[in-house]
Amino acid sequence: MADIRKLAPGVVNQIAAGEVIERPASVVKELLENAVDAGATRIDVVVEQGGAQRVRISDNGCGIPPEQLSLAVASHATSKIQNTDDLFRVATLGFRGEALASIASVSRMMVRRRCAASAAGAELEIRGGQESPARPCGCPPGTTIEVGDLFYNTPVRRKFLRTTQTEFGHVAEAFVRVALARPEIHMTLTHNQRIVHDVTPVDRWLDRITAFFGAELGDGLIWVDNREVDVRVSGYVADPRFSRGNNRMQYLMLNGRFIRDRSLQHALGEAYRGLLLTGRYPIAFLRLEMPPQAIDVNVHPAKLEVRFAESGRLYSQLLAALRNKFLTTDLTAKARLNPPDSATGPERSPADPTPAHRQQLVDWARGVATSGHSGAGSAANGRGTGTGATPPFRPFDGAAAPAQPEAARRPTTTSSATESEFRVDAPHTAGLGMQVHNRYLVTESADGLVVIDQHALHERILYEQLRARVLDGTLESQRLLVPEPVSLAPAEVAMVLESRDLLRQLGVDVEPFGGDTVLVASYPAMLANLNPGEVLRQLVERLTGAGKPPERRDLLDDLLHLIACKAAVKAGDRLSTDEITAHLEQRHLF
Ligand code: ADP
Ligand code: MG
């Protein structure tokens, strides 16, 4: 074995950079945090090519004294803590004194600063960790840090960078996290000379949230505020009619710092149990405020995760706060008006709910949430359900369950108890078979009677047709007269634009529009009566929800199932004689 040697400082810094600086968005995060710590009231972020080419952040904060410029970029140098005790009362976002040194070791970095009092500024240039002497320069008061050619001297790292769109998506997310935590700061984000965000200071947190996520979501947010001794949980959670297929819209701000916390996210999920379908996640913007001594922030290099001294108590507090709030908020009426699974919107709903309806809806929500079906017609319920049970009747399990939301949308006097007795009223007879309860097709086979869930059957038929058309390139797509704007989270915009080819194969044509908006320009003809924005959002959730990038083939298959499910007849749809016949005939084709 070779001799043991102490690593050169440059190597040490590059290793440290490996932990903290993963991609351009990490640079943006670290520099933004420094600007916030410097007390800035205005921060401008300018990035080029997703940040890989250039990131420049200017702030009007306290600035760095000229004689300390060199120290600021040295490793383990910080003005924020002095001793280990300080580690347990951190009131700033930074404290490790590593960010600037790490970034400087893997880029060409320029630090410019000027105090408000002095006329001239000073600048310091560092290339791959090598410093040039500081020199005077003209610049506005505050600090400007420019980071060029990130990873130019670590080619392996550079290779890991994804497309400009994806990298920019992460940058925008880093920006949003800080901007959400600090509504009092004026912040701008510019990408390739285009202003993407310009958020002015606001008094109400809600205004900053809607600046990013739109007024529609803003209207659906519910205020929560709970204090127990020295811990306060406050902010907004979304009405259950808004939900996501992943937990990325759960913004937790701990003493002004964005964090991820599995336990708290679990508490959120628990609070919504029975209100959201399985596989759906609540949207939340929550502030946690507590004494710094109650938290250990020194457990994660990027400080995304923290350790709570009393995590169990915090879990219970959050859960109780939300449950109490939900008990006094009429969520069921809203859930009824626009069920989370709704493809067709509120217009199908009957008038105001009676107390009995309301109870049914609550039961429905509970039943669906615990039944293990992902409501949007998961891929599974299209498969292998072409034929139903033969006598004795077993028609209400398996394939029938996912159809419940539609049944609940138009509650009848039939309770689930009487349903399972299979009482057929006024069957709708047609050639090959008949429709019962506007939900099942009944026909005969050599073995006896066959009961088929109409939604599952139609979904299966459409899936096969769609697949055949996608494979031979004959899927009909319709150009929309007016392209439909759809607003998405920054990372989702990136994902959509990156998946344009895939979406085009499915007949969905999207174009960038700017900011968090994309335009749906054309759309599969067979989905004509569904809202393009809603369908695109669901497709995006499939794209982003998989954790690791899914195999193209699996994804295509998954998306086909989703589209088939959306386009298929629903439980509750009365079919014409021709439709009944056609569906029953087509089930033999596969
Ligand atoms: P940390 O933030 O953990 O202290 P950094 O490497 O990010 O470590 O920054 C080192 C030091 O440089 C900070 O402690 C601070 O004193 C100074 N500094 C960095 N950025 C700024 C800024 N934008 N304005 C004022 N001072 C800054
Ligand atoms: Mg820092």
Q: What residue's CA is closest to ligand 1, atom 16?
A: 79
- Give the per-residue SS3 of 138-167: CCCCEEEEEEECCCCCCHHHHHHCCCHHHH
Model pLDDT, residue 406: 34
**Strand pairing of 121-127 and 130-131?**
antiparallel
Amino acid at 246: N
**Range with the lowest mean pLDDT among 132-141, 329-338, 366-375?**
366-375
Residue type, 576: S
Higher pLDDT, 583 or 174: 174
Tell me how many degrees the CA angle 366-529-454 measures, rounded to the nearest 5: 55
Write the residue with the smallest CA distance to atom 17 of ligand 1: 72
Residue 35 Cβ contacting ligand 1 at under 6 Å: yes
> Are 559 and 420 spatial neighbours (Cβ–Cβ below 8 Å)?
no
Query: How much distance in Å is there from the Cα of 225 to the middle of ligand 2?
Result: 31
Mutating to test ligand 1, I would choose from 34, 44, 59, 185 the residue with most ligand atoms within 8 A of its C-beta, which is 34
Mutation test of ligand 1: which of 45, 100, 300 has the most ligand atoms closer than 8 Å to its C-beta?
100
**Helix H or strand E segment including 577:** helix 577-586
pLDDT band with cut points at 50, 70 and 90 for residue 8: confident
Close Cβ partners of 25 (under 8 Å, ≥ 6 residues apart): 51, 167, 170, 171, 173, 174
Cα(94) to centroid of ligand 2, in Å? 4
Ligand 1 neighbourhood includes 94 CB (under 6 angstroms): yes
**What pLDDT is recorded for position 371?**
35
CA of 99 to the centre of ligand 2 (A): 5
Question: Could you tell me the two tokens for 33?
Answer: 């945090």
pLDDT at position 427, please? 54
392 prior amide bond cis, ω within 30: yes
The rounded distance, in Å, linking the Cα atoms of 106 and 129 is 7
Residue nearest to atom 8 of ligand 1 (CA): 97
79 CA closest ligand 1 atom index: 14
Atom of ligand 1 nearest to the CA of 61: 24
Q: Which residues have C-beta within 8 Å of that of residue 229, sequence separation ≥ 6?
A: none
Measured from the Cα of 63, ligand 1's closest atom is 25
Q: pLDDT exceeding 70 applies to what percent of the chain?
A: 80
- Cβ–Cβ < 8 Å for 193, 514: no
Residue 332's SS3 state is: helix
Confidence of residue 301 (pLDDT cuts 50, 70, 90): confident
Strand 517-524 and strand 509-514: the pairing is antiparallel
Q: What is residue 90's predicted lDDT score, i.e. its pLDDT?
A: 81
Axis crossing angle, helix 532-544 with helix 552-567, rounded to the nearest 10: 150
Distance CA 361, CA 354 (A): 11
Query: DSSP of 35-104, one letter per residue?
Result: HHHTT-SEEEEEEEGGGTSEEEEEE-SS---GGGHHHHTSTT--SS--SHHHHTT--SS--SS-HHHHHH
In the chain, the domains with their CATH numbers are: 9-200 (3.30.565.10), 207-327 (3.30.230.10), 353-590 (3.30.1370.100)
Measure 71 CA to ligand 1 centroid, in angstroms.
Answer: 10
- Compute, in angstroms, the gap from residue 143 CA to the centroid of ligand 1: 10
Q: How far apart are CA 282 and CA 270, in angstroms?
A: 10
Closest CA to ligand 1's atom 12: 72
Please tell me the residue having the least CA distance from ligand 1 atom 23: 35
Do 305 and 299 form a contact (C-beta atoms < 8 A)? yes
What does 260-328 look like in DSSP terms, one character per residue? --HHHHHHHHHHTTTTS-BT-B--EEEEEE--GGGEE-TTSTT--S-EETTHHHHHHHHHHHHHHHHHT
* Cα–Cα distances in angstroms (integers) from residue 422 to residues 391, 430, 436, in the given order: 12, 20, 10
Q: Whose CA is nearest to atom 13 of ligand 1?
A: 78
Distance CA 82, CA 566 (A): 59
Ligand 1 center to 34 CA (angstroms): 5
**Mean pLDDT over each residue of the chain, to the nearest integer:** 79
Q: Is 98 in the pocket of ligand 1 (CB under 6 A)?
A: yes
Q: pLDDT at residue 419 above 80?
A: no
Tokens, residue 153: 């001297």
Ligand 1 touching residue 59 (CB < 6 A): yes
pLDDT of res. 391: 35
95 touches ligand 1 (CB under 6 Å): yes
| Averaged pLDDT, 288-303 | 87
Q: Name the nearest CA neighbour of 268 among 228, 314, 307, 216.
A: 314
Residue with the two structure tokens 């809806």: 361
- 31 CA to middle of ligand 2, Å? 7
DSSP state of 530: S
Give the range among 216-220, 260-264, 306-310, 379-383 with minimum mean pLDDT. 379-383
Q: Which residues pair with 234 in a beta bridge?
A: 225, 287
Length of the chain: 590
Choosing from 78, 82, 114 the residue with most ligand 1 atoms within 8 A of its CB, the one to mutate for a pocket test is 78
246-249: long-range contacts at Cβ-Cβ below 8 A with a sequence spacing of 24 or more? 246/281, 246/541, 246/544, 246/545, 247/281, 248/489, 248/491, 248/544, 249/213, 249/281, 249/283, 249/284, 249/489
In angstroms, rounded to a whole number, what is the distance separating the alpha carbons of residues 147 and 141?
Answer: 19
Q: Is 73 left (phi over 0), alpha (psi -120 to 50) or beta?
A: alpha
User: Kind of pairing, strands 121-127 and 135-137?
Assistant: antiparallel
pTM of the model: 0.63
Report how far residue 361's alpha carbon sits from residue 353's, in angstroms, rounded to the nearest whole number: 9
Please report, rounded to a whole number, the percentage of residues in the chain having pLDDT higher than 90: 34
Question: Angle, to 10 degrees, between the axis of helix 577-586 and the axis of helix 454-471?
Answer: 60
Q: Residue 219: is its pLDDT beyond 80?
A: yes
